[in-house]
């Protein structure tokens, strides 16, 4: 039951953030709407995503950030390239099991 409640809260929070971002854009004159910005501290981008933006959301080796803005929508994705840079050091530190 707790997991279901948490899932419901997450979905409601995501929906509220999305609604707030859209409302933020619709309050502006049509000529001033960018469909990108921040709401409640979260980045949003409702412009048509490109393949490059989608790839950079999850794989941006030039960035030190773990979290990257979504290519489309509200929130963050995980930069797997950044996580991958830390793995070899962690793996080298672990002793190999003796057989």
pLDDT score, position 92: 45
Instruction: Give burial (CB, 10 Å; 0-12/13-18/19+) of 57.
Output: buried
| Lookup: tokens for 84 | 């991958």
In the chain, domain spans: 2-93
Residue 30 · residue 21 · CB < 8 Å: no
User: How confident is the prediction along the chain (99 residues), in pLDDT tens digits per residue?
Assistant: 678 899 999 999 999 999 999 999 999 999 999 999 999 999 999 999 999 999 999 999 999 999 999 999 999 999 999 987 777 665 546 566 666
Q: Give the Cα separation of 64 and 41 in Å (integer).
A: 20
pLDDT score, position 4: 86
Contacts of 42 (CB under 8 A, 6+ apart): 17, 74, 75, 76
């Amino acid at each position: 039951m707790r997991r279901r409640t948490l899932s419901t809260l997450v979905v409601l929070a995501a929906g509220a953030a999305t609604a707030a971002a859209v409302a933020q854009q619709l309050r502006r004159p049509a000529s001033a709407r960018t469909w990108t910005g921040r709401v409640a501290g979260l980045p949003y981008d409702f412009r048509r995503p490109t393949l490059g933006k989608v790839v950079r959301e999850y794989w941006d080796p030039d960035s030190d950030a773990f979290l990257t803005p979504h290519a489309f929508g509200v929130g963050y994705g995980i930069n797997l390239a950044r996580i991958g840079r830390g793995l070899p050091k962690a793996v080298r530190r672990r002793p190999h099991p003796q057989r």
